[in-house]
Amino acid sequence: MRRFLSAAFAIAALLPAAVLAKGEGVGLWMEGQVSEVSADGRNIRLVVTGRFWFEQYRRAQPQPSVIEVRDLRGGPAAIPAMLTQGRPFFAMTENWGGGAIRNSGALLGILQAAAGTGKVVKLELANARLQFGSGGTLAVESATVRRATDPSLR
């Protein structure tokens, strides 16, 4: 009986946290022109010249709260990043109205194709480790890409 009560108490203690967290979350995004794309195994190094932003989703708010990280000079920020392709990974149309699951290595191909064209690529990140430096700089030390714009999709 004592073991049962201990287990019931442990489960009851965990339930409120799970209920409170439901419907809440944080999204991490980067968008811009890509350059200096290179691969080292599963890791992809690149520079995104554009913007980075956080979105916080709350159950009670219809729209997310957005915090954008910008260059202190007012222009687009140059953000060095090391990324890996998520599993699963979705290549999205430019308006994000549709997409397709892609195989391993597809993210590198999308980024390399976009690097020479000046087209804007939007990336949804997960498991990100960020470094905020002096002078308002930002670097993405590591992150998994779940979705990315693929300009070749129509």
What are the extents of the domains in the chain?
23-149
Q: What is the pTM of this model?
A: 0.78
Q: How far apart are CA 111 and CA 45, in angstroms?
A: 10
Chain mean pLDDT for the chain: 82
Does the pLDDT at position 74 exceed 80? Answer: no
pLDDT digits (tens, 9 = 90+) for 94-121: 888 889 999 999 999 999 999 988 899 9
3-state secondary structure of 3: helix
**Minimal CA–CA distance to 23: which of 74, 65, 58?**
58
Does the pLDDT at position 85 exceed 90? Answer: yes
Confidence at residue 62, expressed as pLDDT on a 0 to 100 scale:
78
Sign of CA dihedral 93, 97, 100, 106: positive
Q: What percent of the chain has pLDDT over 90?
A: 50
Omega cis (within 30) before 80: no
Confidence at residue 116, expressed as pLDDT on a 0 to 100 scale:
81
- Range 130-152 average pLDDT: 89
> Are the CB atoms for 47 and 138 separated by under 8 Å?
no
- Range 24-53 average pLDDT: 92
